[in-house]
Structure 1
Amino acid sequence: MALSFKELLFTTLHHRHLAIVGLAQAGGTVRQIADDTGLGRTTVYRVLKSVGKSPGCGYGMRQFLIEGILWDTDGRVIRRLPAMGTVLLDELDVEDLDQEEAEYKALNVFSDHHGYCIQNCHVTEVTHG
C-alpha cells in the first residue's frame, strides 16, 4: 500500500519539523503552513518558536527580524503588507556572506515573498543564547 504525501512527509517527528521549517523558509505564515499541512496552528507555532530559541537545533537555520518597513507601493495603500516580519534562511545559503550581505539577502527574500520592493527598514539577526 502506497503512502500519501502527508503520511510520507510526516513519518517521523523530525520530518514534520523539517517540513514546517522549509515552508516557513519559503515565506509561509503560521496560518498558511497549518492549512497546507493539515496541522494545527499551535503545532506550527511551537516548532518555529523552538527553532528560533535555539538556532540550528539540527536544522541549520538563521532568523532575521525586519522592522519599520516602508514599502514602495507607488503611493497606493495596501493593507496586507506587514510593518514587520521574520525570515528564516538556511545556514548554507548565507555561510559565505558577511553579516551585512546576509541581512540584505533576508530583506530580498522577504520583499520577494510579498511582491513589493522595500524602500526602507531595519534588519537584524535574531540570536538567542
Structure 2
Amino acid sequence: MKADLPGRRSIRVGVDPSQIYQMHMDWSDAEADRVGSWTWGARDWGQASWDGVIGPKLANFKTMLWREIESAVSDGGHHMHHSMSIDVICDECQTRLLEFGKVDGDIYRFRLGLTLIVQAAARQGQRPNM
C-alpha cells in the first residue's frame, strides 16, 4: 500500500531551475534520521561507514557543482546521483518522510558505493541538505 502523499507543488514563476547546476552542493547532517531501524536494518549508518565512505564522498561533493555531480555515471552508463519522485521509493521510506513532514519535493539519490545509497528530501528551490 502506497503512502498517502500530498499533490505536487507548482513551479515558481520567474525562477530558472537550471541555475542550480551552476551552484556548489551543500549539505548538513543536522536532521539525519539515525534513530530506530528499517525493516531491513538499522537507520544509523555507523561511524565506520561515515568515516570510510559517506563523509569523504559528501565532503568531495561539496567542492563540486551540481552539474558535475549529476553527470557521474556508473560503469553500466546509469546516472549515479539524481532526483527521484517520492512516490517511487518504498512505502516504508515514504511513510517515514511523511512522519517528518519532508514531502514538499522530490528526494535526491546519491549512490556512494556498491550498496550504499543516501537519499535526502529536497527542499523547495534547492537540492537537499543531508
TM-score for both structures, normalised by structure 1: 0.25
Q: Looking at secondary structure, tell me which structure has more strand per residue.
A: 1
Answer with 1 or 2: which has the greater Rg: 1
